[in-house]
Amino acid sequence: MKIYPTFFRLAFSWMDAELAHTVGFGLIKLADRTPAGPLLRRFTRPSRELRVQALGLTFPTPFGLAAGFDKNASGTGALMDLGFGHVEIGTVTGRAQPGNPKPRLFRLLEDRALINRMGFNNDGAAKVAERLAKQRARIDRRFPGTRPIVGVNIGKTKKVDLKDAIADYLISAEDLAPLADYLVVNVSSPNTPGLRLLQSVKSLRPLLHHVRQTADAAARRHVPLLVKIAPDLSDDDIAEVAQLVKDMGLDGVVATNTTITRDGLSIDAETVTSMGVGGLSGEPLKERSIDVLKLLRTHLDASVCIISVGGVRDAADVRARLDAGATLVQGYTAFLYEGPFWAHRINKSLAHPSSTVQNTHATRR
């Protein structure tokens, strides 16, 4: 018997999904402050052979935690103790905002999926930067040598007009780039009205240009810059984004965010409709996420980092993404279903000699 699914059923599945997230994350942070923290860190440390060179950095393992889980950098170090090779915090916006009214997160248990319309609830760039500075100091102390990598994902404040979006992204870039190992411009959440229009190359080019200039100046170094895209873009749009990435010499792409489609679900349509609008994540996203990855890789050579995310459940999924051209892989939704040792299990399985990672798109060390 797997212990976590039983525990999940008994402890979490009856709770509102967002409350379950808050309680679960709270327990992870609590464990981190007890003597269990250092023990956990030793137990979950990824094996050396999983190290990957990407974005000019050494990642302890190709597998990391996607944006949205640790929106405010409130438990970045604690999550790293669970074996994630990188944690992407955020999405952080220029100003603090409460996000959409609750309920805004729904579980689709049979489909191992989630629907969310969180709406970038976060404490705002200034406050998150303060907290991230403390997290960074703690992470440096705890992981001498090769440490897990901190990604920072930035987005647009809801009440800022789309025409003023660049200035809003620049607030976050300025405050957070000095603390980020890499920075992601998120233009693909379905839960901020109009945001996805910024994915058009005409809007994206000036946005990325200004964010890169501001981030590098604020950090006084080159901060690797990536763009996160939606799975709902057409193949032609994806090709255009890839061309832009090449033209601008951008460091990479995160693919993909959640989808607004409701395809591939086994739960009845009425229940899905009753959950309302929002982004769908987890297993039903898997196929499109892999297609987008493959498409991107046909346009981008190995020097461009592709972080593949969407429907990743186990080590076989991670391996399949690496084989299909991903440099790094992330997950979120399956973490809720698989429990705190999810990343550790994936790392262990990846490191097993019979399942060695064949990653031709990153340098292994």
Enter the tokens of residue 149. 């990598």
Active-site pick, 188, 189, 289, 308: 189
Rounded to the nearest whole angstrom, what is the least distance from the CB of residue 308 to ligand FMN in the complex?
9
Q: Residues binding ligand FMN: what is the number (CB under 6 A)?
A: 28
Q: Is 189 considered catalytic here?
A: yes
Distance CA 173, CA 215 (A): 5
Q: Does 105 bind ligand FMN (CB under 6 A)?
A: yes
**Using CB under 6 A, which of the segments 41-49, 112-120, 260-268, 353-361 binds ligand FMN?**
112-120
Enter the tokens of residue 179. 């603390």
Q: Does 331 bind ligand FMN (CB under 6 A)?
A: yes
Among 125, 173, 242, 285, binds ligand FMN (CB under 6 A): 285
Rounded to the nearest whole angstrom, what is the least distance from the CB of residue 176 to ligand FMN in the complex?
14
Distance CA 190, CA 230 (A): 8
Q: Does 12 bind ligand FMN (CB under 6 A)?
A: no
Q: Does 118 bind ligand FMN (CB under 6 A)?
A: yes
Judged by CB, which is closer to ligand FMN: 41, or 65?
A: 65
Distance of alpha carbon 331 from its chain centroid, rounded? 7
Residues from 135 through 154 that contact ligand FMN (CB under 6 A): 153
- Helices 36-44, 17-32: axis angle to 10 degrees equals 100
Q: Does 107 bind ligand FMN (CB under 6 A)?
A: no
Among 310, 325, 339, 340, binds ligand FMN (CB under 6 A): 310
Locate the DSSP E strands across 120-259. 149-155, 182-186, 225-229, 252-255
Tally the C-alpha atoms within 13 A of residue 195's C-alpha that lie toward its C-beta: 26
3-class DSSP state of 53: strand
Among 24, 311, 339, 340, binds ligand FMN (CB under 6 A): 311
Judged by CB, which is closer to ligand FMN: 41, or 195?
A: 195
Residue for token pair 């009205």: 193
Residues from 63 through 92 that contact ligand FMN (CB under 6 A): 66-68, 71, 90-91
Q: Under a CB-based contact definition with an 8 Å cutoff, are residues 307 and 226 in contact? A: yes
Locate the DSSP E strands across the chain. 52-54, 57-59, 63-65, 86-93, 105-108, 113-116, 149-155, 182-186, 225-229, 252-255, 279-282, 305-309, 328-331, 363-364
3-class DSSP state of 128: helix
Q: β-pairing, 57-59 with 52-54?
A: antiparallel
Q: Exposure of 156 by Cβ count < 10 A (0-12 exposed, 13-18 middle, 19+ buried)?
A: buried
Q: Does 189 bind ligand FMN (CB under 6 A)?
A: yes
**Using CB under 6 A, which of the segments 30-38, 215-223, 238-246, 331-339 binds ligand FMN?**
331-339
Whose CB is nearest to ligand FMN?
68
Rounded to the nearest whole angstrom, what is the least distance from the CB of residue 155 to ligand FMN in the complex?
7
- Closest listed residue to residue 244, CA positions, set 282, 285, 187, 287: 187
Residues in contact with ligand FMN by the rule CB under 6 A: 66-68, 71, 90-91, 105, 114, 116, 118, 120, 153, 186, 189, 228, 257-258, 281-282, 285, 309-312, 331-334
Active site residues: 189
